[in-house]
Homo-oligomer: A and B are copies of this chain.
Amino acid sequence: MPPNDDVLIKIVDLAQREPAGTLASSVYDRLRGDILSGSLPPGEKLRTEALRARYEVGNSPIREALNRLSADGLVTREDQKGFRVAAASRADLEELVKTRCWLEQIALRESIANGDDSWEEGLVLSFHRLSRVRRSSSEDHYSVNPDWERLHRAFHLALLSACGSRWLLQYCAQLNDQADRYRQLAIVVSYPRRNELDEHEAMMKATTARDADERDIASHGAL
């Protein structure tokens, strides 16, 4: 079983996403982005009609996207009552952070134990890409830089990509999404102040050195 290469390639290439081949997938991507960025706030009712207007497609693709997102946990669905953006609360966030810690700890441990050369290469590559873009797309005030967000996500998943379980990897990705959303929701009030670039470099170096005891790696960016 050599899933490492497959997974790695997939993860690394998460960095530059290909255009969606179908309307439903395109709507899925855009809707997902709008939820993660917070431009569709938690609890917001997602009416077919409004979304049709927003994304300029028929109702079938909308409905398909919503169904996928509801299985992802970004949208809630109630039979005969339609869809809403998933709620957000302090309690949910605590649950989320806790779970993310549990799972990423395992994934990182296994990744370090099993990672091969191509994993390390992917790691270095991901880091390099991440280090070349700015956190904010503006200089003075913070405004979300989509490139950075994508590369940041790719870097984190590259770390875990050799854990040997597609299931675990997928779950970590899902929890990452959720955490991203909370970060976006919170970010308007606190412009990031840490030196994240250095943090990321340290993470990479510690990891490639197989230094599993840097356990706070997993908790980095837990909001």
On A, residues with C-beta under 8 Å from B are 1, 3, 20-22, 24-25, 60, 63-64, 67-68, 70-73, 79-80, 91, 94-96, 98-99, 102-103, 106, 164-168, 170-171, 175
> Complex: how many Å from CA A79 to CA B94?
36
The answer to whether B64 and A95 have CB atoms under 8 Å apart is no
Residues of chain B contacted by A79 (CB below 8 angstroms): 20-22, 25
A99-B165, A99-B167, A106-B102 in contact; A94/B1 too (CB < 8 A)? yes
> Complex: how many Å from CA A63 to CA B164?
32
A106-B102, A171-B171 in contact; A22/B80 too (CB < 8 A)? yes
Cβ contact of A64, chosen from B64, B96, B171, cutoff 8 A: B64
The answer to whether A98 and B21 have CB atoms under 8 Å apart is no
Copies in the complex: 2
Residue pairs across A and B with Cβ atoms less than 8 A apart, 30 shown, are A1-B94, A3-B95, A21-B79, A21-B80, A22-B79, A60-B60, A60-B63, A63-B64, A64-B64, A67-B67, A67-B68, A67-B71, A68-B68, A68-B70, A68-B71, A71-B71, A71-B72, A73-B167, A73-B170, A95-B164, A95-B165, A95-B166, A95-B167, A96-B167, A98-B165, A99-B167, A99-B168, A102-B168, A103-B103, A171-B171
> Complex: how many Å from CA A180 to CA B97?
29
> Complex: how many Å from CA A3 to CA B1?
40
Residues of chain B contacted by A24 (CB below 8 angstroms): 67
> Complex: how many Å from CA A72 to CA B21?
21
Q: Which of A25, A71, A99, A168 is the most central at the interface, judged by chain B CB atoms within 10 Å of its CB?
A: A99
